[in-house]
Amino acid sequence: MIKLICSDIDGTLLNAERELSKKSISVIRQLKNEVPIVLISSRMPSAMKHLQKQLGILKQPMVAYNGGLIIIDNAVKQTTTIPFDLVNDIVRSNEANLHLSLFHNDDWFAPQKDQWTRRETNNTKVNPIIKSNEKVLKLWKTSNTGAHKIMCMGEAKLIDAFYKKLSNQLNEDLHLYRSKETYIEIAPKKISKKSAIDFLISSEFDLDMTGVMSFGDNYNDIEMLEASGLGVAVGNSKEEVKLAANEIIGNAKEDGVAEFLTRYFKMR
């Protein structure tokens, strides 16, 4: 019996305009009083909160940064960051001068206004603080602040080279996730979407993973889908993600999640 629904956002729940469709909003608003619904994403909190508000689930847990930050009703319940010294190593390793955005809590520090900054602003509806990586490191050094996420963006060939470099040097400490050929999302090794769900079901919900229904589309969703009682991949998922899922449904752009929830819970 499903007692908790966890859904990825980008590529899973949002439509072609990077928005929630009327159908998705309607279905989730109908379900939210029967089954808790948790958004679980690599996004920062402010890039998720407006979606929670539209869905009427502001009081429900929010899992940001792929599990690095868990918030319930504006209170931080768990936080895991890339340590400052490791952030410093990553920035120093960026010899190709790729775009490195640094994230901590609800702060997004972008090194400059460029095509990558504009793309992320368009996708997430959040504006960054423009500050060079060097200045952020100087700001964070005194308080030994770490990053919840580092987003590396640039030409695919250069991203490939940087990915290999980080994999060889720092693979034991970091999750390196290629969300696109021009992106690397960098997070602490010890967290994941599954680890976040494990935390929630041990502290907030009276259930185990067999009672979890999860939705995803990309590599960082695989562990979550495999561990859930019902792991569901949208039709536009990577092939590896489909192999990890119990069910494959319609595409995100065609309201695949909403259509599946309607059928599964026999909604009118």
Q: What is the DSSP string of 84-147?
A: HHHHHHHHHT-TT--EEEEEETTEEEESS-SHHHHHHHHHHS-PPEE--HHHHHHHHHTTT--B
Same domain, 88 and 159: yes
Residue 137, beta-bridge partner list: none
Q: Please identify, among 188, 212, 239, the residue that sits at the C-terminal boundary of a domain.
A: 188
Planar angle of CA 82, 205, 235, nearest 5 degrees: 70
Predicted local confidence at residue 179, as pLDDT: 82
Residue 232 three-state SS: strand
Let me know whether 73 and 25 are in one domain.
yes
Choose the final residue of a domain: 188, 212, 246: 188
Structure tokens given for 160: 């490939």
Q: So what's the pLDDT on residue 50?
A: 95
Contacts with 240 (C-beta within 8 Å, 6 or more apart), sequence order: 219, 222
User: Do 73 and 32 belong to one domain?
Assistant: yes
Residue recorded with tokens 């935390």 = 199
CB 112: neighbour CB atoms within 10 A? 11
pLDDT on residue 172: 83
Full-prediction pTM beyond 0.75?
Answer: yes
- How is the chain split among helix, strand and coil, in percent rounded to 5? 40, 25, 35
| pLDDT of the chain, 268 residues: tens digit per residue | 999 999 999 999 999 999 999 999 999 999 999 999 999 999 999 999 999 999 999 999 999 999 999 999 899 999 999 999 999 999 999 999 999 999 999 999 999 999 999 999 998 999 999 999 999 999 999 999 999 999 999 999 999 999 999 999 887 889 998 888 999 999 999 999 999 999 999 999 989 999 999 999 999 999 999 999 999 999 999 999 999 999 999 999 999 999 999 999 998 6
Tens digits of per-residue pLDDT, 7-45? 999 999 999 999 999 999 999 999 999 999 999 999 999
Strand partners, 71: 62, 76
- Give the CATH number for residue 149: 3.30.1240.10
What is the pairing mode between strands 37-40 and 4-7?
A: parallel
CATH classification at residue 22 = 3.40.50.1000
- Cα–Cα distance, 204 to 242 (Å, whole number): 29
Q: Which residue segment(s) compose the domain that 50 sits in? A: 4-79+191-264
Tell me how far CA of residue 109 lies from CA of 106, 151, 186, in angstroms: 10, 10, 15
List all residues 6 or more positions away from 211 whose beta carbon is below 8 Å from its beta carbon: 1, 2, 3, 4, 201, 229
Residues recorded for the chain: 268
Domains identified in the chain, total number: 2
